[in-house]
């Protein structure tokens, strides 16, 4: 199964992908959409062109597991994607993924894509695929 992981940020959206048979998450792409509708359109095009079967959306929560201001923005993207995508869409807790991504890549500008990869790697591990 081909899986796409999305790490949504205020200005950039990191993407990673994996094939569950391989059990390895790879950095994929960085999006810089103009707005949430543009983000939805770009993601939908990628899902269709890459034959993705399952999408993970990083769900931002505070360290106390409560929703944050960013959660409202991501909820808007989730709603748009759920109306458009013809594949399964799953919310995934993204707490600390950016911190782990920064530790992995430093300040190279690849943090958003690496955060999506970290989310996907954790999901694969939780699914016992790695």
End-to-end CA distance of the chain: 14
CATH superfamily of 2-126: YqgF/RNase H-like domain (3.30.420.140)
Rounded to a whole number of angstroms, the CA Rg of the chain reads 13
Q: H helices of the chain, where?
A: 36-49, 69-84, 97-105, 111-126
Tens digits of residue pLDDT in 1-46: 999 999 998 899 999 999 999 999 999 999 999 999 999 999 999 9
Tens digits of residue pLDDT in 57-110: 999 887 788 888 889 999 999 999 999 999 999 999 887 666 675 666 666 668
Q: Which of 50, 48, 11, 9 is nearest to 28 (CA)?
A: 50
User: Is 10 strand, coil or helix?
Assistant: coil
Q: What is the pTM of this model?
A: 0.90
How far is residue 61's CA from residue 95's CA, in Å, rounded to a whole number? 6
Q: How many CB atoms lie under 10 A from the CB of residue 41?
A: 15
């Amino acid at each position: 199964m081909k899986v796409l992981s999305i790490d949504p940020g205020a200005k950039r959206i990191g993407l990673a992908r994996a094939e569950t048979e391989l059990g390895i998450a790879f950095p994929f792409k960085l999006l810089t959409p103009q707005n949430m509708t543009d983000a939805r359109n770009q993601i939908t095009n990628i899902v269709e062109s890459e034959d993705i079967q399952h999408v993970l959306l990083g769900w931002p929560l505070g360290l106390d597991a409560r929703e944050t201001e960013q959660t409202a923005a991501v909820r808007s993207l989730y709603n748009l994607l759920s109306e458009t995508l013809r594949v399964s869409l799953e919310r995934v807790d993204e707490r600390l993924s950016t911190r782990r991504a920064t530790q992995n890549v430093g300040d190279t500008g690849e943090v958003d894509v690496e955060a999506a990869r970290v989310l996907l790697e954790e999901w694969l591990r939780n699914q016992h695929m790695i």
